Structure 1
């Protein structure tokens, strides 16, 4: 192995160790505990080394956001294949979204820590576009087969995603079940949304 290849491999190893150390901090202490100093201490490198790989903490967070959206998109695509009926697909995808949020809490929190991503972020991050396109394709199909085919697909997109994100956020803030189970609330909310295509 040549010198250039060795340097490239070492650089990739340091980058990987930065991401792993970051994830370890997040899993143990939450996103608020993550800092460049903590990462540097964990991998036993100086702070400037971290900055040669990531411009700032936000760049590390963006890496985890991309990873989270990629995983979520894969799960949504898998759920979409469970049925050919667009209404059933919406229900299956809602359940997959819900399952992802609670089995990948840390990713979900960084993906939505400051609310829904702004449009300019969606246009810059390919993984967010991928996720959006999965939802839009099913919504377009549902609208085309509805009694009102002229409905605004982007309005339906934001409504659907808002339902999912809102329910997940409520559940994350108060994890104990109330007098109504969270899965029943999810089914009722998505069921009501789907009935609008009649």
Structure 2
């Protein structure tokens, strides 16, 4: 490996170390505790070195948001590909979305602004668009009996999302923890099935 490649590899490793340290701080202390100085202290660098990789904390939040969407996209793609019918795909994808929210709570809070300010540039992030496009494609395939427009797909997407995101948010911010998993799963699946049935009613 040449010196140029070694320098690039070390830069990538340092960048990853910074992001991992930021996520570790958030997982142990919460988003409100994240600061450039704390990140520097955790990886035993000086704060100015952190600024060589990220101009401010928003840059770190952006990269963590991107990382979250990559994990979410993988989860819902794998869930979709295990099923044949559009209705089964839809349910599996939203259940995977639900599971992601609790398996990666800190990412979800950042990506969707639960109990904090979300990353404001995510709308133009290709990783975020990929997630919504995968869900949108399956929603489109649910329309069997009538012509479908982009507005129809968009409306159903936000119908699914608002109900599921609302249920997730209630459970994430509930002071005494989540409602029982069994009850949540029943509510979640009833909501998904109800919206899916409404598409061709």
Q: What's the TM-score, normalizing by structure 1?
A: 0.88
Output the CA distance in 2 between the equivalents of 1:12 and 1:176.
Answer: 38
Structure 2 gaps, min length 5: none
Computed over aligned residues only, the root mean square deviation of the Cα atoms, in angstroms, reads 2.1
Alpha-carbon deviation of 1:115? 7.3
Output the CA distance in 2 between the equivalents of 1:10 and 1:128.
Answer: 28
Q: Contact conserved, 1:91 with 1:191, CA < 8 A, in 2?
A: yes
Equivalent positions of 1:79-94 (< 5 A) are: 79-94=79-94
Q: Contact conserved, 2:17 with 2:43, CA < 8 A, in 1?
A: yes
Aligned partner of 2:147 in structure 1 is 149
Alpha-carbon deviation of 1:97? 0.9
Aligned partner of 1:41 in structure 2 is 41
Q: Contact conserved, 1:171 with 1:182, CA < 8 A, in 2?
A: no
Output the CA distance in 1 between the equivalents of 2:107 and 2:69.
Answer: 8
Aligned CA distance change for structure 1 residues 22 and 197 (closer, same or farther; 3 Å): same
> What secondary structure does 2:199 align onto?
coil
Output the CA distance in 1 between the equivalents of 2:85 and 2:13.
Answer: 45
Output the CA distance in 1 between the equivalents of 2:48 and 2:76.
Answer: 39
Alpha-carbon deviation of 1:187? 1.3
- Give the length in aligned residue pairs: 193
Alpha-carbon deviation of 1:12? 2.0
Aligned partner of 1:121 in structure 2 is 122
Output the CA distance in 1 between the equivalents of 2:61 and 2:119.
Answer: 13
Output the CA distance in 1 between the equivalents of 2:117 and 2:23.
Answer: 21
Residue 194 (str. 1) matches residue 192 (str. 2) = no
Structure 1 gaps, min length 5: none
> What secondary structure does 2:45 align onto?
coil
Structure 1 stretches of at least 4 aligned residues deviating more than 6 Å after TM superposition:
115-118
Equivalent positions of 1:32-181 (< 5 A) are: 32-113=32-113, 121-122=122-123, 124-143=124-143, 145=144, 147-150=145-148, 152-174=152-174, 175-177=177-179, 181=183
Q: What's the TM-score, normalizing by structure 2?
A: 0.87
> What secondary structure does 1:196 align onto?
helix
